[in-house]
Structure 1
Amino acid sequence: MVHIIDRDKWARASGRWPHLWQGELQCGAYGSKSCLIFNYQPEIGGGPRLHMHPYCEIFIIRAGTGLFTVGDQQIEASAGQILIVPPNTPHKFTNLGPGPLETTDIHENGSFITEWLD
């Protein structure tokens, strides 16, 4: 059976990253092995601090340009590109501007698990 979830039903990441995250969808309840994060960084320099997950994370860049730190690499990625971060790899990103950075982040896990490193 297919599940359709309208935007107004997405769970909000209330208080976790104020004004930085549009929403979080924990898909495990629907039988999925993935969790989706709908990320919107409106200000230049905005983004999460260094962290890692015990599973792979895939970033689909929908709009804007970001500077991604993945392990010891610095990667500038723009709309239309996809980055795949291996499990247990420290990573972070910031909005390079000039406009918002919008990504859909796919966590290959039914729920969001993060270890913050700084």
Structure 2
Amino acid sequence: MTSIIPPEDWLPDTGRFEGEWQGGVHGAGICVIANRIERPGGGPRLHRHPYAETFVIRSGRALFTVGGEEIEAAAGHILVVPAGVPHKFENLGPGPLETIDIHEAGSFETEWLE
């Protein structure tokens, strides 16, 4: 059966496209996070997952730390972090950073490292 999930079921009523969705309850093997990070320097701290994570940069600029490598990404870029690799990212500014983060699992599993 096909599922359609309306925005009110996964996006908070903030007027922005940001929120989290876990697909396992709908038979999907992915989870999605829509991020909007307003301030430069903002972003998640170092963590890892037992599955790959794919980032789609919708707008802005980000500095990713993936393992021991630093990677700058901007609107239109896609970055894939392999399973088990520690990573974090931050908004480089000057404006907001918007990303879609796709987790290759039906529910979130995160190990925070800092």
Establish whether TM, by shorter chain, passes 0.5: yes
Structure 2 matches for 1:57-96, cutoff 5 A?
57-96=53-92
Pick from 83, 103, 107 the counterpart of residue 99 of structure 2.
Answer: 103
Matched length: 110
Give the aligned partner of residue 9 of structure 2.
9
Q: 1:115 to 1:56 in 2, by over 3 A?
A: same
Q: Distance in 1 between matches of 2:36 and 2:11?
A: 15
Cα RMSD after superposing both structures: 1.3
Q: Distance in 2 between matches of 1:96 and 1:11?
A: 25
Quote the sequence identity (%).
Answer: 59
Name segments (4+ residues, structure 1) moved above 6 Å: none
TM-score between the two structures when normalised by the length of structure 1: 0.89
Structure 2 matches for 1:47-62, cutoff 5 A?
47-62=43-58
Pick from 18, 22, 32 the counterpart of residue 22 of structure 1.
Answer: 18
Give the aligned partner of residue 108 of structure 2.
112
Deviation at 1:26, TM superposition (A): 0.5
